[in-house]
Amino acid sequence: MSQPANPLFAAFDKASSDHLSRLAVATPKPAFSGAWTTVELQPDVFVPQRFTVGVVVQTPGDRLHFKLLDDFKKFECLYHDHFPQKSARELLAYAEAALRQAVKAKTAIPEIVFDTHCLTLSAPHFTSGDDRETTVERLFSEVVVMAP
């Protein structure tokens, strides 16, 4: 038994297809493609609440590019004296040092491990674009909600 024709596709004939084919253009090849990940901060190791405090972008075999949160006022609003800005600043300074070392060594994102349970990297995701730094800035503005 055959299925009835879908009226939406019935109107799509060869002339429509030819018209769309003439309008189609090749998708430009991005200047880079690679992976991106978030830097996650867990202020209290006994509470499974994490905050995205940075992003990392890397093309395979190339150095990584990153941006980290540098204003910690919102943590003080949430945690008061339980997690002062000084603690956040120290953890992010450590994260920056570890990521700068990874830049120098061209360490791949999956190989980066922080020596604290308070900092982790999320699973990498695909990204591409025209400029790595612009992509880092865009991703940072989209996912780091603790930024001022």
What would the pLDDT profile of 115-132 be if each residue is shown by its tens digit?
999 999 999 999 999 999
Q: With contact defined as beta carbons under 8 Å apart, do 54 and 97 qualify?
A: no
Residues 16, 139: Cα–Cα separation, whole Å: 38
Average pLDDT of the chain, as a whole number? 87
Question: DSSP H helical segments within 49-106, as ranges?
Answer: 73-79, 85-105
Task: Give residue-wise pLDDT tens across range 42-54.
Answer: 988 888 889 999 9
pLDDT band at residue 28, thresholds of 50, 70 and 90?
A: confident
Dump the DSSP string for 105-135: HT--GGG---SSTTEEEPPPEEEEES-HHHH
pLDDT band at residue 73, thresholds of 50, 70 and 90?
A: confident
Average pLDDT (85-104) is 92
How much is the pLDDT for 13? 63
The sign of the torsion formed by the CA atoms of 56, 59, 64, 67 equals negative
pLDDT band at residue 59, thresholds of 50, 70 and 90?
A: very high
Average pLDDT (7-36) is 76
Residues 11, 40: Cα–Cα separation, whole Å: 50
